[in-house]
A and B are shown apart, each in its own frame.
Chain A
Amino acid sequence: MKKLINNPADVLAESLRGVALAHPELSVDFENHVITRAVPKDAGKVAVVSGGGSGHEPLHGGYVGVGMLDAAVAGEVFTSPTPDRVQAATKAVDRGAGVLHIVKNYTGDVLNFEMAAELAEMEGIEVGTVIVDDDVAVQDSLYTAGRRGVGLTVLLEKLVGAAAEEGQDLASIVELAKRINGQGRSMGMALTSCTVPAAGKPTFDLPEDQMEIGIGIHGEPGRHREPLAPASEIARQLVEPILADLDVAGPAIVMLNGMGGSPLIELYLMYGEVVPLLEKAGVQIARNLVGDYITSLDMAGCSLTVLKADDELLRLWDAPVNTPGLRWGA
């Protein structure tokens, strides 16, 4: 597999160097692999920290900026960052009003962020945590590590980032984050495997005429594998499990997300397929995103996220945001 890299072991550090050069409005701590705003938010406001394994860009570093995250902690590709680094980020951005940790539901991330929160609290920093678990592809969630955190993480980071910018307190922000997690769901699929730089070969073997339905964002297995189908059929297979899991009729924020290896022309085509299916189910799409927002390195494929919205969420959604990955009103 051909990649734009020097040495596989240096991919994260060298990519962060590029981030620092491209975005003077951000500040990069190269020792801890933490991206923060160059200009901290006002004292007295809650700070929002997220992080996880790398390879999902623009998530999370691309969402650091006014109206969204205060810091993102980047682990190695698909590997959770360690607690000391999460704590370093937490300490760096705390403005005296506490810090929210946004954690995707993977065992490694949950354990490392939990320890980081304990370390931060020992230093007198109040930490609230929301664990995002929106992936309806995981069916036996009682018998597994639970549903995975995927696309909804992007929408949640935007919405709670806006609430924090407004000056809401930590307890209200944790409650808001949990409410958002409860009313959003995602489903993804892959046309190809991703290739982790250190491995150098595809994580799994997916024949040319097959697709994987219900894929995660690390090349972990989906619900099932089946013959490649037209976009209209794929759209149906993304929409139906979401509708089966949650009544999403009414206003909604919808994201059609690319996994990193599918061109925008195909993502828009897919959006055109999912909209009528959602509308038929009573979903009124109030806002949308189409593009690569939470990726799985170079995997071809897409995911669909539907978040039930109300006036409060739409107001927070429309608030100004100024980050490398999302920017409006700023």
Chain B
Amino acid sequence: MAVVDTAALVDWVHRFRDVIAEKREWLTELDSAIGDADHGANMSRGMEAVVAKLDAGAPATVDELLKSVGMTLVSSVGGASGPLYGTLFLRMGMAAGPVTELDASALASSLRAGLDGIVARGKAEAGDKTMFDAMAPALDALDAAIAGGADLSAATASAAEAAASGRDATEPLVARKGRASYLGERSAGHVDPGAASTTLLFETLAQATAQSASQAAESS
């Protein structure tokens, strides 16, 4: 059974940092349509700080590693995204516990705890046009794939696909949370920037687990 170890988690964080930097302008563009035009810059600043901290010495256990990511995001991103992404990683770490690797179902329940944390913090519901609308379907797809016997990289790949569909489905929605909500009907017709960055998070998770699986196959 394939697992995600701390090296794979560090790889995931690096990949997420890279794609956020690459898509920074796009995220900012999405945010300028319905928010305050700082999502790309804020997330990019946060992920640079996260990577700098991990490169200086990554914790040996999954919980400490994820908590370090969360605390760095909380203290460097700002706006609403900082507490929300920070809570995601903090809760994932708390759920994972002091282990050195996660199997598919442990990863799924850790992510589920992260989503529960986001919901407790942001009070978002399905269809509010937030990151929830990408993350909730991604986790449902992840659970379904694991229940169906898919391996880790196939399961995270289907989670990434579901996140992307969820992201695209935010376009016609009227925002009910955050600064975008003040636009009312004028917020329809734009993809939610939080759902967009969340999709990148799941796409890079799928890449990191695929990479980890292929390395494991080579070494065995």
Interface, chain A (partner B; CB < 8 A): 75-76, 78-85, 106-108, 111-112, 114-115, 138, 140, 143-145, 148, 199, 216, 218, 220-221
Contacts and interface: CB of A to CB of B under 8 A. Distances in A.
Given A78-B36, A82-B77, A108-B79, A115 B182 contact: no
A84 B74 contact: yes
B83 A112 contact: yes
A115 B179 contact: no
Interface size class of B (residues with CB under 8 A): 20 to 34
A108 B39 CA distance: 12
Interface of B is mostly: helix
B53 interface: no
Contacts of A78: 36
A227 to B, nearest CB: 21
Contacts of B78: 75-76, 79-82, 108, 112
Contacts of B76: 82
A238 B74 CA distance: 38
Contact of A83 (B36, B75, B174): B75
Given A145-B181, A220-B182, A84 B75 contact: yes
Contacts of B172: none
B144 interface: no
A77 to B, nearest CB: 10
Interface in B132-189: 174, 176-179, 181-184, 186
B114 interface: no
Contacts of A79: 36, 38, 42, 78-79
Contacts of A84: 74-75
Contacts of B179: 106-107, 145, 218, 220
B74 A107 contact: no
Nearest to A148: B182
B97 interface: no
A114 B86 CA distance: 13
Nearest to B87: A115
Nearest to A137: B182
Contacts of A218: 36, 179
8 contacts: A80-B79, A80-B80, A107-B122, A108-B80, A111-B83, A114-B121, A115-B86, A220-B182
Contacts of A83: 74-75, 82-83
A228 B177 CA distance: 31
Contacts of A199: 37
A82 B178 contact: no
Contact of A145 (B36, B42, B182, B186): B182
Contacts of B36: 78-79, 218
